Amino acid sequence: MPTPILVLNCGSSSVKYQVIDADSEAVWATGLVEKIGLPEGILTHKVPDGEFVVEAPIPNHDEALRLVVQAFADHGPALADVVAVGHRAVHGGELFRETTIVTQAVIDGMEALAGLAPLHNPPNVTGIRAAQAVLPDVPHVAIFDTAFFATLPAEAYTYAIDKDLAKQHSIRKYGFHGTSHSYVSKKTAEVLGRDLKSLKTIVCHLGNGASISAVDGGVAVETSMGLTPLPGLVMGTRSGDIDPGVFAYLGRVAGLDALAVDKVLNKQSGMAGLTGGLSDFRDISAQIAAGDADAKLAMDVYLHRLVSYIGSYVALLGGTDTLVFTAGVGENDAAVRAGVCDRLAPLGFKLDPAANAVRSKEPRVISAPDSPVTILVVPTNEELAMARETVAAIRR
Ligand code: AMP
């Protein structure tokens, strides 16, 4: 008996979805609704026998979900067969430490956390409500991006600020991309035929957003994102770590208020800020090849930050068995992987250049056979991870 799960990821202006049979792990349908709230909305629905596109104004998430339901009715598979819906939920704060079946109390809790993730939690909740309206008879499950990092020790999640202020406003490190870090660290143990409990792993999730985690025996012990997804590694448009004094400084010298600085650091920084607008690593590599000094410096800053984090996580873990690359850049950019590993060679990271150069969608080892640390590329699959989490939650 198949166990089809609808996985939904509602962002502020988009809805991504898949139907995955949790038993065979086959993908029955994938889809994307874009430009919600704009006059030229678009829905793309892909099933094994074709791809279907609907262009129409999509004023809100209710209408987006209505169009999704219509696409399933027109092109299949039958939504009536879906046994549960798994929702991506970005910020679980201190309330949600694991995947949770949605009740009214859960929705209230997510709404109460909106201050921590104003761009993400409100559309997540809107999506849950809209999906409950169209699929009222199946369980809905919330999968929190922060949950995998609920295990961080206090010394890792505590910021060195006034403890009462921190408590009053729930200021601490939460971490994000948890579904990916969890999936990839488990998959790494599987690929190596090792017991997860005996494995020390550093996972580099390098996409447009980027974060790194230290995982000891399957338990996350450190990660680079924080209260928000802004700190840590250099990202496509986000600065990652920066002196927090920049907020007051830019207020004084440029008249920018905190919200304006936040926008600069989130949207106009990172690789885009350093290169004058390029956030895609394919474009940045082409510019480096063309001799562009800004692009070269951007890449050097990116690698420097990443190497600093990996070195520090090796120290925190007391050595590591594996280093794993995932997400768009980590899976596809051999030059980034080589740049990282070459700098880390003195610490026992020895790449196999031929294995690193291979393009593949499969998980693979890219280190030399005599490398003390095993280096891998493990493609992430957040949708599959969410489908698994959903099934585990409804069977608990
Ligand atoms: P993600 O957020 O995981 O979807 O990653 C998206 C990013 O991956 C893009 O912005 C690119 O920088 C990067 N990327 C995707 N494909 C490639 C590729 N073939 N080579 C290098 N970078 C890539």
Residue 156, C-beta contacts closer than 8 angstroms, at least 6 positions apart = 173, 221, 222
What does the pLDDT read at residue 271?
98
What does the pLDDT read at residue 339?
98
Q: Say if ligand 1 is within 6 A of residue 302 CB.
A: no
Confidence of residue 119 (pLDDT cuts 50, 70, 90): confident
Q: Is the pLDDT of residue 44 over 90?
A: yes
Q: Which residues are catalytic?
A: 145
First to last CA, the chain: 19
Q: Regarding predicted confidence, which is higher, 12 or 351?
A: 351
Q: Is the pLDDT of residue 1 over 90?
A: no
What does the pLDDT read at residue 12?
86
Mean pLDDT, residues 173-192 taken together: 98
Which mutation among 203, 332, 380 tests ligand 1's pocket best, with the greatest number of atoms within 8 A of CB?
Answer: 332
pTM given for the model = 0.96
CA-nearest residue for atom 23, ligand 1, is: 329
User: What are residue 392's phi and psi, to 5 degrees?
Assistant: -60, -40
Please identify, by atom number, the ligand 1 atom nearest to the C-alpha of residue 327. Answer: 3
The per-residue pLDDT for range 253-312, each reduced to its tens digit, is: 999 999 999 999 999 999 999 999 999 999 999 999 999 999 999 999 999 999 999 999
Q: Say if ligand 1 is within 6 A of residue 183 CB.
A: no
Mean pLDDT, residues 222-233 taken together: 98
The mean of the pLDDT values for the chain is 97
Percent of the chain with pLDDT over 70: 100
The per-residue pLDDT for range 77-117, each reduced to its tens digit, is: 999 999 999 999 999 999 999 999 999 999 999 999 999 98
Please identify, by atom number, the ligand 1 atom nearest to the C-alpha of residue 336. Answer: 21
- CA-based max dimension of the chain: 65
The position carrying tokens 């104003």 is 118
Least confident of 82-86, 119-123, 134-138, 239-243: 119-123
- DSSP assignment string, 100-140: EE--HHHHHHHHHTTTT-TTTHHHHHHHHHHHHHHSTTS-E
Percent of the chain with pLDDT over 90: 96
Q: Is the pLDDT of residue 50 over 90?
A: yes
Query: What are the structural domains of the chain?
Result: 4-144 (3.30.420.40), 194-382 (3.30.420.40)
Q: Say if ligand 1 is within 6 A of residue 270 CB.
A: no
Paired with 204 in beta bridges are: 212, 325
CA nearest 4: which of 327, 266, 396, 383?
Answer: 383
What does the pLDDT read at residue 39?
87
Tell me the CA–centroid distance for residue 337 and ligand 1, in Å. Answer: 13
Q: Is the pLDDT of residue 54 over 90?
A: yes
Q: Is the pLDDT of residue 211 over 90?
A: yes
